Structure 1
């Protein structure tokens, strides 16, 4: 077009060219209009075909034609609404985000199997629900796809081997000791009702900083800029997810929330990069063998060390950017989900004192007269009833309520129905865990469902708090280990009682409580006893 314009100006002169300008503009307008019309008609036709193919799936009544099913919000009412849909439709239904975006919600083991067992190229993670995290987490395991994801997954798997996890149990003990010392001080001052997420999130972040970076920020006792940034990023992502007007990146970046998000990202990335560069410098100075030898002697090998030393099949290491993305991903995925799991487990045991007492007795018998009171790695497999209570809590109050996938090919369900390619599928972990066709009396907290002697076999896809398939949670053993340590020590030292206010669930990135999950904690020993101040003294 530019060559033709130069040719015209050369042969026609300026005066002649001016007479051609209206015709040229008209031609450009007609070409663009035709392209827009063809594109629009193609989209309409594709939309009509897709709607026709989706008719085999039921849907609840629309709010109206424009909003579809938007406007439900993240409230207790929306949670109950989706519970009713699970009872009504049994396995799958559609709901609409506005007039043009259908979401296929699946909530029965038999219909999620083809999706969770398909390869990542057939059902990659859906960008609509996960893109907001990319400026923060980069291309870590949570967000990467294809060959990069496969390479990173293979290189990171050794970081979660049992031999690596064993020393972390000591860190979990130390972090929960600090939290309990703080609880005792608050109880001594007359504050027995505590907001669980506030305290437990700080405790899990404290543990993660030590496990990932070998860094002690003392964040449970004093403010930490890095920890504050992590908490703010989690909050801002949840707020953005709830406001479709902020889905467009350009608009979001102009808002005050967008600017705060950017500042917090920079702070988090600067911290991660500083640790990585410092550790690289030490590794270069000492050499790999000496570096590893020193780490083994001090038993301080952490997540960053493992990533720095990791190599793929071709002997290639991870870049600093890749290491930062994986460290940031682990911090994000490891603190909120675990804190939610612990908080809701304490809530359920507060509601059922008979189960709480049985867990406490099991832990007392396991530890005996052991001093100091500390959970060891080998103890984790010797708490069967506590494990049952944890699993039932993860079923009833799953920290992550859903995972979403985008279908790049048609997916056939076992009953013959087909999910057309190009659609977003939402695998509802919450829906499966609360589906009466899968779990009898799903709203009842009953740890005996997970008794190994229970004759009723549980489908592997009926209980998926960590998802399943190739993209399941790589850190689930880390999370379960921390859950067991924290709950065992908490029940050993405190009685946990319910608050008088009814709970209102709030499903965001993780499952929260609308007004904070408040529970009453009562120390099981006299506050004046020297034993009660033992951990406080050790911290000082």
Structure 2
């Protein structure tokens, strides 16, 4: 038998060796990143003693206070144990950070999405992402968006009709619940060519599964133990996720196979309404799914059903949750500032007319400048994606600041939008700062809710058109007002996207 004292000495030796390795690792990276500002760190634990201060109520407020204390020129470094994170929101660095080939890789944190989204555009590595991006881009060009306008219109009118009852009864409205049903139906119809009828008010297994899996992924992101697949797969949460994935993947694959059969049938019969002739005949609008079905791999082969599914699921996830969150915060600001809401309404009535039966055209949307100013100001203060991160695949240097290989770089649209160095009075909602004749011009690198560079949001123009159409219909038809004399202040939380701790209620009243 091994002597117990010897075992203790061996254990101490192992612990000391690991401690020494961690110390030397941190010292080496600290020397390489010497000009990155940051608070003093401790061996092995790094800055965990500082991060512990974020635990408790108002984490965003606490994080803001820590950032302002420890950042210099909007840059800083943070040790989470022995893992180094670099925080960079300096406008001089943004373009380089978002275009450098060494920083196009997503961090391992994004793996928590892979059970649902697999290796779609949101989670895939650089090589696969490069090809898929070129493949999917045509689905979001201006010509395709013009075809989607009819879908945006139809779904917006369904939402307007749903709110009519609340306008009569004066019941409190949780705007996010209604607008998320709108965004899901709209995204599914434009991405798949099929709707899930989330706005019907009836139970939708797909809608419920999407909402639940978003919270499961968020729980996994926030639990350090669940970052390990081995530990997570032993949990009840993983069992529940597997059941949800059967619903989500089964729904998407079913539509893909059905559309593929129809496409093959059209091609075989030379149908005049085939997908190949849809654009020229204008009898049938192409969906994102059609674009993927017609796409080819670098070897000239069609995509497999799984490949198409992961991209369609990615489009639905990005468009549904992120857009709904953006619209929620827009309406929150409109109930805080009724005078700005009225200015938006007056512009809409002047450009689009008072007849709510009339369709709103793409040309009219371009004229709604004040509405777009209000949307941008809301996105500045409440970007639906408050943080993003990239992993350095090789050593690189951004404007004299060294980034070691395998280091994660964090960029925060939320921080930049609320920084007084970039936006005077950053916590005040001021749509006029976006006016063409504004005294202080806004630098593009300080406003990045869709990010910028190679991995920027592919659907940003799509999202803006969709939001302007539905908001135009809503504000032309209804007033949105706080429940009491003043709107209750929102307490922010991070649930994958930026959200509020409690639902934000308002009341809706028909325009006279």
Determine if the TM-score, normalized by the shorter chain, exceeds 0.5.
yes
Normalised TM-score (structure 2): 0.89
Q: Is the 8 A contact 1:187 1:522 kept in 2?
A: yes
Offset of residue 42 of structure 1: 4.8
Matched, 1:185 2:165: yes
How far residue 313 of structure 1 moved from its aligned partner, in angstroms, is 6.0
Map of 1:173-252 to 2, 5 A cutoff? 173-191=153-171, 193-220=172-199, 221-252=201-232
* SS across alignment from 2:106: coil
| Residue 44 of structure 1: how far off its partner (Å) | 4.3
Give the alignment of 1:84-483 within 5 angstroms. 84-88=65-69, 89=71, 90-97=73-80, 99-119=81-101, 121-128=102-109, 130-191=110-171, 193-220=172-199, 221-287=201-267, 290=271, 291-292=274-275, 295-296=278-279, 297=281, 298-311=283-296, 315-370=300-355, 372-414=357-399, 416-483=400-467
Tell me which residue corresponds to 2:508. Answer: 521
Deviation at 1:62, TM superposition (A): 7.5
Q: Per the alignment, in what secondary structure is the counterpart of residue 436 of structure 1?
A: coil
Shift of 1:408: 2.4
Deviation at residue 508 of structure 1 after TM alignment:
2.4
Residue 56 of structure 1 aligns to a residue whose secondary structure is coil
Shifted more, 70-79 versus 318-327: the winner is 70-79
Pairing partner for 1:79 from 54, 60, 85: 60
Give the paired residue count.
Answer: 492
Q: 1:141 touches 1:326 (CA, 8 Å); kept in 2?
A: yes
Instruction: Normalising by structure 1, report the TM-score.
Output: 0.84
Counterpart of 1:538?
A: none
Q: Which residue of 1 aligns with 2:491?
A: 504
Contact 1:108/1:435 (8 A) holds in 2? no
Selected match of 2:472 from 458, 479, 488:
488
Cα distance in 1 for partners of 2:118, 2:252 equals: 13
In our comparison, the structure showing a higher alpha carbon Rg is: 1
Q: Which runs of 5+ in 2 are unaligned?
A: 2-11
Q: 176-185 vs 55-64, which deviates more?
A: 55-64
Gapped regions of structure 1 (runs ≥ 5): 1-21, 23-32, 526-540
Q: What whole-Å deviation, never above 9, does each CA across 1:503-526 have from its counterpart, x for those lacking one? A: 10112211111011222222224x
Q: Distance in 1 between matches of 2:148 and 2:498?
A: 26
Q: State the shift of 1:123 in Å.
A: 4.1
Cα distance between partner residues in 2 of 1:141 and 1:452: 35
1:215–1:188: structure 2 CA closer, same or farther, 3 Å change rule? Answer: same
Contact conserved, 2:103 with 2:390, CA < 8 A, in 1?
Answer: no
Cα distance, 1:173 vs. partner? 1.9
Measured after TM superposition, the shift of residue 222 of structure 1 is: 0.7
When residues 460 and 316 of structure 1 are mapped into structure 2, their CA distance, relative to the original with a 3 A threshold, is: farther
